[in-house]
Structures are given as C-alpha cells and as structure tokens.
C-alpha cells in the first residue's frame, strides 16, 4: 500500500473536521505530561472527542497495545482512529472506538464512536492548561481573539475558533478606593 497521506496531513484534516463539527477548542500533537499525546482532541461545552491518526498498519497495531487504549482510560468521551481508506477493518478497532477515513476533500465516519464513561480527565485538563500557558507568552495581559492558531516549537498546534476575552482587574489606588 502506498502512502496516500502523511501523518501531518491527516492531523490537519482531523483538526478541520473537529472545527466543522462544533468543537470550539482543538489541540493537535501537544503532550499532556501523563503519557498520552493525542494527534487531535476537540473540546466543546459538554464533551471531548479524540482522534488518533495512523498512516500505517504497523503503527495502528502497535497503538492498540498501549495501556490507555487496552484499559479504556484514555482521553476523549468519544475516540476515533483516522486512517487512509481501507487500511484497517472495523472489527480490528479497539472496543468502542470509531473509524474515520478521508474520501477526497471529505471525511467519512465509517463507524461511530461509543461514549466512554471512564476517561483521563486529568490529561485533558493538563492539555488545556499547557495550551493556555503557551498563549500567555503571546499576550501576557490577556487574550481576546476570534480565530487563532499558534504553532509551537514542538509541532503542537492550538486552535480556538470562538471569541473569548480576558480583562485585567483594576487595582485600587488607595485603601479607601472600592473595586467595582
């Protein structure tokens, strides 16, 4: 099988798919500090979706051996593998995982993910904290953005596609001054 896609190309497609499906914060290839580095994870108001991109069968088969996949305690309320068309079969997926495949410019859901009740919430929070810490270096007084993508030195990408604003609290000049 010739490589139709590189890993980086699939990660970019996964990021766009998550945005298209309403995830307001999408993080790609950023380490959490707890042993799991999702290729793409999307956060919305009430759930998360993790996407693992694989361009070779050996990589997929090795990934299935990882403890957070075997024991179902990884990141994401929903979890997908994203592979070139026909690379893996549905019956090869870990229990509950879904499968995405690129078809031209579109991404097809070959199998939907189950909802995982047990997940690595600490890892997800670690990713968000790491992302915010990296953004602080860009704007130490706060963040006010509509759409923003930050490429870091370690190839991680943070993307936020929703307005947010951080406003500095005024400091009282004298003891008797009241803060609003």
Q: Is residue 97 part of a domain?
A: yes
- Are 50 and 74 in contact by the 8 Å Cβ rule? The answer is yes
Give the total number of structural domains in the chain.
1
Q: Is residue 95 part of a domain?
A: yes
**d(C-alpha 164, C-alpha 161), whole Å:** 9
Range 123-147 average pLDDT? 67
Q: Is residue 177 part of a domain?
A: no
Question: Of all residues in the chain, what percent carry a pLDDT higher than 70?
Answer: 67
Its domain, for residue 73, covers 7-164
Q: Is residue 90 part of a domain?
A: yes
Q: Is residue 174 part of a domain?
A: no
Query: What is the tens place of the pLDDT at every residue in 6-40?
Result: 999 999 999 999 999 999 889 998 876 666 788 99
Any bridge partners for residue 52, and if so which? 81
What's the whole-model pTM score?
0.74
Residue 166: pLDDT band by 50, 70, 90 thresholds? very low
Query: What is the tens place of the pLDDT at every residue in 89-115?
Result: 999 999 999 999 999 889 999 999 999
pLDDT exceeds cutoff 60 at 49 = yes
Q: Is residue 108 part of a domain?
A: yes
Q: Is residue 169 part of a domain?
A: no
Q: With left for phi above 0 and alpha for psi between -120 and 50, is residue 9 left, alpha or beta?
A: alpha
Q: Is residue 134 part of a domain?
A: yes
């Amino acid at each position: 099988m010739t490589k139709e896609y590189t890993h980086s190309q699939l990660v970019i497609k996964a990021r766009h798919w998550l945005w298209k499906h309403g995830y307001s914060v999408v993080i790609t290839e950023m380490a959490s500090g707890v042993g799991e580095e999702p290729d793409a994870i999307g956060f919305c108001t009430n759930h998360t979706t993790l996407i693992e991109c694989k361009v070779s069968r050996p990589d997929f088969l090795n990934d299935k051996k990882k403890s957070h996949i075997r024991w179902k305690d990884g990141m994401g309320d929903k979890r997908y593998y994203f592979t070139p068309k026909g690379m893996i079969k549905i019956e090869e997926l870990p229990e509950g995982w879904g499968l995405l495949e690129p078809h031209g410019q579109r991404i097809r859901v070959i199998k939907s993910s189950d909802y995982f009740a047990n997940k690595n919430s600490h890892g997800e929070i670690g990713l968000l904290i790491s992302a915010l810490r990296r953004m602080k270096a860009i704007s130490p007084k706060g963040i006010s953005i509509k759409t923003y993508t930050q490429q870091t030195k370690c190839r991680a990408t943070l993307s936020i596609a929703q307005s947010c604003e951080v406003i500095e609290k005024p400091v009282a000049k004298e003891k008797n001054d009241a803060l609003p």
